[in-house]
Structure 1
Amino acid sequence: MAVTAQPLILDHAVVGVLDRLDEAAAVYRKLGFALTPRGYHTLGSINHLAVFGENYLELLGFPPDSNGKRADLWSYPTGLNGLAFRTADAASLQRELGEAGKPVTEWRDFSRPVDVGGTQKSASFRTFQIGKEAISNGRFFFCQHNTPDLVWQPRDQSHPNGVLDIVDIFIVSRAPQTLTELLGGFANTVAPEITRDGIAIHTGIVTLHILSEANATSRFGLAIPASFDGNERKVALGLKVRSLQVTADVLAQGGLSSRPFEGGLLVDADAANGVALWFKE
């Protein structure tokens, strides 16, 4: 039964880099991503984005001299540690989910400056978390874009590696029911699908794959983080590309090794700041 008319749609995936944003950005440029200029949030965090057609990847960290700002980010491992889902109205969604018994935080507003043709404008957001105490090694949250045109700019959406969108997210979980309960009840979701590896939740163009440790190891081997504390860890992204040959050429030019994987190419988590990247057409 739906508890809200709002759909569950991935907005962006967060790759946490702690205080090593310079190093992470250099790696992702070698991987063929065209990154936006560094952003400075009013909350104290800093970022670069790889903006795609429907969603984006965010490298998120904080300055070495942050003096305790965004101290929450210190507690998460590097790698894929945040999934942001889109909402047109964070306040109403937060209220609806709370009334349905889902654990949500209060929403908060923040912004960052963006240069548009030499003019500085303010990209602003409203976010809240769901399952803060239940989720290990990161967070699930909802993001309202007040100024989406300042994020999805055509100049930023063409990548040398040909990536078009995030289409898969892989989560290793010891408590899959916790995740299915948190993410159930949205207007566009149906019953989770039981697959050969575990559970699949379809959210627009993106599929969330919830895998057991054994199934994840069987499928990905040593390409994903091998251990974690808590109930789950987000370990891999599936990325749709225009041409695998173009992707392979760009990875080779960047000096990064990849291997064939299920009709695509896989870059190990150790080479991509803690998250395995599966490039596929």
Structure 2
Amino acid sequence: MALRHVIGLDHVVVAVRDLDAAAAGWQALGFTVSPRGTHSAHMGSGNYTIMFGEDYLELLGVLVPTPHNAPMRAFLDGREGLERAAFTTDDAAAGVAELQARGIAATGPIAFGRPVTLPGGGEAEARFNVFQWPLDARPGGLRIFACEHLTRENVWIPALQSHANAVSRILRVEVLATAPAGAAASMAQLLDRRATADPDGAQRVPTGSGRADLVFLDRTTLAARHPGQSLAGLPEEGAAVLVLGTADPAATAAALGLMPDAPLFVPATRANGVALRFLPA
């Protein structure tokens, strides 16, 4: 039985060392990037968001070391990249209780917020409750948590959802794993979902509600999925490729500076440690 209070992929977190430089780099790829946000003091972090239809991408950096951001600091000691995946929850407190009732040592909820500069002027506040799966529950090296949006209107701002590269959603997250079947089985157990095999042997875990899937695969399979593309800058284990849906591949190619018939792919060396693949959606 699927978890009642975990709905599907909400957003992915790309941990970066220089927030402003990262935002400029993603803008150069045709993304509309939100104004910079600063989280509540106990979080010690700041962010930029890239908003799509029902999901989004977060560029997250450490501003002040705190106990909460210690795991991300440890990650950044090694590399930048897609460090976490967040799932939507409709009730963070109920979500924690649901996991704990199943013997999973979830923690939270933690409440926090950040000011939001509105496109037309003025300021609002985005507020959230989050809970986390245990820190050692990291299938394929991917940490997971859940986010309850208390002020969705201050996050999904229409002016921020239109991108020159025409991206409209996250289709899947491809995660490198030394043992893909085992990693997928572990993630499926944490989410109370069922892993299935793709034709190429990659292992797919749906997150629910038509949101993006998590796909676990080895390096050989990843290379076969993206033939001729550079895999430089990708980890041995961890989230490697973010597959994004575009409503207009020609606009995507133009925004990326590619020929219209070229594969729509950005190597990890240009996107803070995560490769980007664009497919029609």
TM-score, L = length of structure 2: 0.86
Q: Which runs of 5+ in 1 are unaligned?
A: none
Corresponding position of 2:56: 56
Name the SS of the counterpart of 2:272 in structure 1.
coil
Alignment check: 8 A CA contact 1:3 1:96 kept: no
Alignment check: 8 A CA contact 2:177 2:183 kept: no
Q: Residue 240 of structure 2 is aligned with which of 232, 235, 245?
A: 235
Alignment check: 8 A CA contact 1:3 1:185 kept: no
Deviation at 1:184, TM superposition (A): 3.6
State the one-letter code of the partner of 2:185.
T
CA 1:45–1:259 in structure 2 vs 1: closer, same or farther (change >3 Å)? farther
CA distance in 2 between counterparts of 1:101 and 1:258 reads 51
1:206 to 2:209 alignment? no
Which stretch of the first structure deviates more once superposed, 72-81 or 3-12?
3-12
Name the SS of the counterpart of 1:93 in structure 2.
helix
Alignment check: 8 A CA contact 1:107 1:128 kept: yes
1:119 to 2:118 alignment? no
CA distance in 1 between counterparts of 2:20 and 2:83 reads 18
Corresponding position of 1:34: 32
CA distance in 2 between counterparts of 1:129 and 1:186 reads 12
Q: Residue 155 of structure 1 is aligned with which of 139, 155, 159?
A: 159
State the one-letter code of the partner of 1:38.
R
Alignment check: 8 A CA contact 2:187 2:205 kept: no
Which stretch of the first structure deviates more once superposed, 201-210 or 20-29?
201-210
CA distance in 1 between counterparts of 2:123 and 2:58 reads 21
Deviation at 1:243, TM superposition (A): 1.1
Which stretch of the first structure deviates more once superposed, 153-162 or 95-104?
95-104
Name the SS of the counterpart of 2:206 in structure 1.
strand
CA distance in 2 between counterparts of 1:67 and 1:192 reads 37
Corresponding position of 1:47: 47
State the one-letter code of the partner of 1:238.
V
Deviation at 1:240, TM superposition (A): 0.7
Q: How does 1:72-83 map to 2 (within 5 A)?
A: 72-76=71-75, 77-83=79-85
Q: How does 1:57-136 map to 2 (within 5 A)?
A: 57-63=57-63, 66-67=64-65, 70-76=69-75, 77-116=79-118, 117-135=120-138
Which stretch of the first structure deviates more once superposed, 95-104 or 133-142?
133-142
CA 1:201–1:182 in structure 2 vs 1: closer, same or farther (change >3 Å)? closer
Q: Which runs of 5+ in 2 are unaligned?
A: none
CA distance in 2 between counterparts of 1:257 and 1:39 reads 35
CA distance in 1 between counterparts of 2:221 and 2:129 reads 36
Q: How does 1:244-255 map to 2 (within 5 A)?
A: 244-252=249-257
Question: Taking every aligned residue pair, what percent have the same amino acid on both sides?
Answer: 35
CA distance in 2 between counterparts of 1:132 and 1:172 reads 19
Alignment check: 8 A CA contact 2:128 2:150 kept: yes
Deviation at 1:131, TM superposition (A): 3.7
CA 1:107–1:84 in structure 2 vs 1: closer, same or farther (change >3 Å)? same
Deviations 1:82-134 (A, max 9, x none): 10000010111111111112232232111001133433322111111114113
CA distance in 2 between counterparts of 1:50 and 1:137 reads 23
State the one-letter code of the partner of 1:97.
L
TM-score, L = length of structure 1: 0.86
Deviation at 1:207, TM superposition (A): 1.9
CA distance in 2 between counterparts of 1:257 and 1:276 reads 19
Alignment check: 8 A CA contact 2:176 2:235 kept: no
Deviation at 1:73, TM superposition (A): 1.6
Q: What's the RMSD between the two structures over aligned residues?
A: 2.4
CA distance in 2 between counterparts of 1:7 and 1:102 reads 14
Which stretch of the first structure deviates more once superposed, 23-32 or 169-178?
169-178
CA distance in 1 between counterparts of 2:111 and 2:179 reads 31
Name the SS of the counterpart of 1:106 in structure 2.
strand
Name the SS of the counterpart of 1:9 in structure 2.
strand
State the one-letter code of the partner of 2:11.
H
